[in-house]
Amino acid sequence: MDGKREMLRHSVATLAYRAAKVLRDTPPEFAAYRVNETTRTPAEILSHLGDLLDWGLAMAQGRQAWQDSGPLAWESGVARFFAAMDRFDEFLASDEALGVSEERLFQGPVADALTHVGQIAMLRRMAGAAVRGENYFVAAIETGRVGAEQEPARREFD
């Protein structure tokens, strides 16, 4: 596997690590939290995250397919997100040719997903359910580990 594809897979694993941290242990009311009438709820953002990864897989396979999925119950949305991430990473790990460049896959669905994971982290803080900050440089992020189960944080901030 070439260096670009490996770096893309490491970026996907980084997304999984960061997402797992902000998606777990949410209070029951968090999914419906809304800052104002023009903002998405965390459940709507989570649905969009799943759509982004489905879109990334479609593009990697040389197809153009976008869907706007409605929000699911929180745990179902989390499961959908990680299943989509697993399918995307599985394709990236294969010997199949990419339908678009690694750079395009990063700048589109992966970078957008990282942004939205940050939004969920910010909404958790605003909703009174903050996630502790962490030194991600020393985090145990491993290419191919893209599920909800991640290594514990090595260095969180107080």
**pLDDT of 111 above 90:** yes
Residue 131 CA to residue 147 CA, distance in Å, equals: 19
Residue 153's pLDDT band, with cuts at 50, 70 and 90, is confident
Average pLDDT over residues 58-71: 96
Q: What is the mean pLDDT of residues 12-36?
A: 96
> How far is the C-alpha of 45 from the C-alpha of 107, rounded, in Å?
18
Nearest to 19 by CA among 145, 144, 113, 106: 113
Question: Rounded CA gap, 68 and 47, in Å?
Answer: 8
Tokens of 36: 């104002």
Q: What is the pTM of this model?
A: 0.95
Which two three-digit tokens encode residue 141? 């992020």
pLDDT of residue 1: 64
Rg (CA), the chain: 15
Q: What is the pLDDT of residues 129-144, one digit of tens each?
A: 999 999 999 999 999 9
Q: CB–CB of 88/12 below 8 Å?
A: yes
Tokens of 98: 């990419």
In CATH, what number does 3-138 get?
A: 1.20.120.450
DSSP secondary structure, 28-66, as one string: TTGGG--SSTTS--HHHHHHHHHHHHHHHHHHHTT----
**What would the mean pLDDT of 115-124 be, rounded to a whole number?**
97
- The predicted model gives 64-93 an average pLDDT of 97
pLDDT of residue 158: 75
Q: How many of the other CB atoms lie within 10 Å of CB of 81?
A: 28
**Can you tell me the mean pLDDT for 117-138?**
96
